[in-house]
Structure 1
Amino acid sequence: MEEIVLRNEFIKLGQAIKAAGLVESGVEAKIVIQDGEVKVNGVVETQRGKKLFGGEVVEYNGSSILIKK
């Protein structure tokens, strides 16, 4: 499981999956999130602007990311 350490108070979902290298662009992130392919803490999330504050687990395409403070 990859980890992303927050530099600010939060990171948006689209930015997180792009930073982890799970998608190549913000446009691709938008599409996969809106299509319901991304889960946050086991629940499908369709808002790419969803703020992640730390402690969340993001899942996409068989990969997981842990957001850490």
Structure 2
Amino acid sequence: MTNDPSIEDVSAGGESIRLGHILKFTGLLDSGGDVKGAIVSGRVMVNGEVERRRGRQLHVGDIVSMDERRLRVCP
């Protein structure tokens, strides 16, 4: 993994984490409804592509972007 200061490392607590969980866990969004709205509106990207599934399973190394924040899934 690169040492890019613009990316926040977030522990998945294992090998994977769901997209909706990481958005709430990191404080990017407050509720499941907020997560759904952000995803439906196309504001959330995974590895540079718009993601429309809040249940998407993220794995170590995946990059989640929303607005100006970027998160990298770590073990």
> TM-score scaled by structure 1?
0.91
SS in 2 for 1:11: strand
Question: Residue 61 of structure 2 corresponds to which residue in structure 1?
Answer: 55
Unpaired stretches in structure 2, ≥5 consecutive residues: 1-6
Is 1:65 paired with 2:42? no
| CA displacement at 1:8 relative to structure 2 | 3.1
Is 1:8 paired with 2:27? no
**Bigger CA radius of gyration:** 2
Quick one: distance in 1 between partners of 2:9 and 2:31? 19
Quick one: distance in 1 between partners of 2:8 and 2:26? 7
Alignment of 1:6-45 (within 5 A): 6-45=12-51
SS in 2 for 1:30: helix
Unpaired stretches in structure 1, ≥5 consecutive residues: none
Per-residue CA deviation, residues 31-55 of structure 1 (Å, 9 max, x unaligned), is 1012111000100000000000110
Quick one: distance in 2 between partners of 1:25 and 1:62? 19
Q: How many residues align?
A: 69
> TM-score scaled by structure 2?
0.84
RMSD of Structure 2 on Structure 1 (CA) = 1.0
